Amino acid sequence: MRVKNRLSSYPILNRYDQSSHDFREECTILSKITLHSEFENYVCDVEFDINCPSIEALIRQDLARYCVHVESPSSCYREEYLNKEKTFHFSFRNTLVNESIEINTFIVLIKDIPNYHLPEFHVDYENASFDLRKHQIIAIGDAVKYPCSKKEMDKLSSIIKIRRIDNDIDGVMTVNTDDDSNCIFVGLQSEIFDSYCRLGKNDYRKTVLSLVLFPALVVILERMYLAYKNSEEDTISKHWYEVIENQLEKNNIKIANLDIQHSDLLKVAQSLFGEPIRSAFNELDNIAMGGE
Amino acid sequence: MSKINYLATEAIEDFKLNFQTYKHYFLNEKNDDLLELCLQNNWLHETNIDYPRITLNMNDDYSISDRANVEILYEGMKNLPHSYATDERFWLGLIISTDFWDYVIYRRRAELQTKKDEEVKNSFLFTRGIKRSNYINCVSRLWWAGKLCYDPDSIDHYRTADLICESAFASNMILLSSSNVTANNHVFLGIIDCLLDRQKKGEKIGRYHYVNALRYLNSIGSTFLIDTLSRQEVSHIVDTGLRKLGTKQTKTID
């Protein structure tokens, strides 16, 4: 579940939305979420920290509850955990989830509240009241996302796989981003693949990787940009797209801002891969100096 | 009882990357050649899941066979962990190494006869996102339909499958895969309760109902935590939404 920042028809205390002015500035909600593995289960510890006395009172009066929503979209697992206490924990079987676990936190009503009005509302809502119903959200806390299968899942190299191709109809090198959700296949024509395997094992590893992966990554980034621009859900929803997007965002790069007309793609591919061209030439230099 | 085999990742990668090399195997009526190839390359490995020894229905009328097979397959593999049920390696291993191959040939006969790469690939391989692929593949979608439709509160546990299978089963599954909210069993059953109720009152249920029910739930999901609704509440809300939207209109929600 992704909680999007949208205007709502009534005030919601929102951890992430600093601009909506639904509540007075001093009102805050935070939630600390930790997830760890214990044998065949995942155990989640949650601690809410809220500075809004009226909402806390609603919980004490059994009108609202702290709520944690857990979802693993690719395994169709969704569950919610409600509690009166600020701190609680729960567990679920690890066989229920796959790829990633998304955890969102809320405070939700468990009974209807006609004429909902809190003294902590922003002054704009001074005279406003709302008829709210059971299950409506009145506060949104922190959210986290955990990868949950292979340890290496976040590393770029595990989602790009270099394989032999049987023919060179499409050239000596291909980049296949369509056929698999989890990874991208870089195909090398048979003879070239043999050279890659032979040379890549020893002294020329960085050079070989740079020759193969760097151009592939430029192609991949361009396809990601176009998929984003054309709202191609099939591509955007793929796991490899998400992993690369996360890597980019960690480096403050947004796909929407990539300028494929200029040298942005080269620059981004370089930084994503730890300057492969420089590494390759350093490697060649070392080999050349060693051979003199 | 023997165990189900799964197909190695390297095999799947090879099939996808060098599809032209392997295409003729997938166009065979029988899996013997492909199975032999997989065994020679040591591409099949045992899971700890027992092979269910079920016989799938192959009626000429797909609406009959789909409905029957949702129940047959899910009953036979009800305890399958989700982590297996989402895994392409598991389903492809099952298809290649057992008589589930015959089922794919039967169910995808028209598509395979076109011999088009995409049709052949989509008959066996997972080429979309994980969830969508599971809902598209003609074998895995039976299990997932069973999981969605299973109603623990009803004597006929699969009565909701009557509705999604009676026509356009494949499209209905793709529609249902587009919304994460249906992953919650009681939310899904609440939606179907409403549609079955309308059907009993004489309404013809079609794509518009699924689309608008999901659209309406999605729209209120910004302020309601849908998962906390009871099944009856979901049914009532969907009914309200369909009344507001009209069953065959696509006007936007107020």
The radius of gyration computed from the CA coordinates of chain B, to the nearest angstrom, equals 19
Handedness of CA B12, B16, B21, B22 (dihedral sign): positive
> Longest Cα pair distance anywhere in chain A, in angstroms?
86
Paired tokens of A260: 């494929």
Q: Which residue has the higher pLDDT, B251 or A121?
A: A121
User: Mean per-residue pLDDT for B2-7?
Assistant: 89
Q: What integer is the mean pLDDT of B108-129?
A: 94
How far apart are the C-alpha atoms of A130 and A117, rounded to whole Å?
A: 7
CA distance A153 to B91: 22
Closest CA–CA distance from residue B60 to any residue of chain A (Å): 31
Q: Which of B89, B122, B87, B90 is nearest to B104 (CA)?
A: B122
Q: Quote the pLDDT of residue A36.
A: 83
Decide if pLDDT at B254 tops 70. Answer: no
- Strands of A77-83's sheet, edge to edge? A13-14, A137-147, A100-109, A64-72, A77-83
Pairing of strands A87-93, A41-51: antiparallel
**Chain B residues inside the 8 Å CB shell of A82:** 228
Task: Report how many Cβ contacts below 8 Å link chain A to chain B.
Answer: 125
CB A72 within 8 Å of CB A97 = yes
Out of B126, B183, B223, closest to residue A181 by CB: B126
Q: Where do the DSSP E strands lie in A39-147?
A: 41-51, 64-72, 77-83, 87-93, 100-109, 113-116, 130-132, 137-147
Over residues A246-276, the pLDDT tens digits come to 878 777 788 888 877 667 788 888 877 777 7
pLDDT at A158: 63
The answer to whether the CB atoms of A95 and B184 lie below 8 A apart is no
Q: Position B225: which residue type?
A: L
Q: What integer pLDDT is reported at residue A292 of this predicted model?
A: 41
What are B74's two structure tokens? 């899910």
Give per-residue pLDDT as tens, A68-116. Answer: 999 998 888 999 999 999 999 999 888 888 878 999 999 999 999 999 9
- On whether the CB atoms of residues B142 and B70 are closer than 8 A, the answer is yes
Of B82, B129, B224, the CB nearest to A237: B129
Contact between A135 and A63 under an 8 Å Cβ cutoff? The reply is no
Dihedral, A252, A258, A262, A264 alpha carbons, nearest 10: 30
Percent of chain A with pLDDT over 70: 90
Strands A113-116 and A130-132: antiparallel
Report yes or no: B229 at the A interface, CB cutoff 8 Å: yes
Torsional class of A94: left (φ above 0), alpha (ψ -120 to 50), beta (otherwise): alpha
Tokens linked to B60: 């000429």
Question: Quick one: what percent of chain A has pLDDT higher than 90?
Answer: 36
**Residue A203, token pair as written in the block:** 């002294």
Complex ipTM, two decimals?
A: 0.82
Residue A6 has a pLDDT of 66
Query: Among all residues of chain B, which has the CA nearest to that of A133?
Result: B224
Q: For position A247, what pLDDT does the model report?
A: 79
Tell whether B220 is within 8 A of chain A (Cβ).
no
pLDDT of residue B250: 41
**What confidence score (pLDDT) does residue A74 get?**
82
**Which pLDDT tens digit goes with each residue over A210-249?**
888 888 989 999 999 999 999 988 888 888 888 888 878 7
CA B194 to chain centre: 21
Q: Is 80 exceeded by the pLDDT of residue B115?
A: yes
Q: Which of A8, A71, A135 would best serve as a mutation to test chain B binding (most B beta carbons within 10 A)?
A: A135
- Testing the interface with B: which of A179, A235, A243 to mutate, by most B Cβ within 10 A? A179
Give pLDDT tens digits for B187-204.
999 999 999 999 999 999
Q: CA of B130: which chain A residue's CA is closest? A: A74
DSSP A24: -
> What is the identity of the amino acid at B61?
D
Sign of CA dihedral A166, A169, A171, A173: negative
pLDDT at B72 over 70: yes
For position A4, what pLDDT does the model report? 67
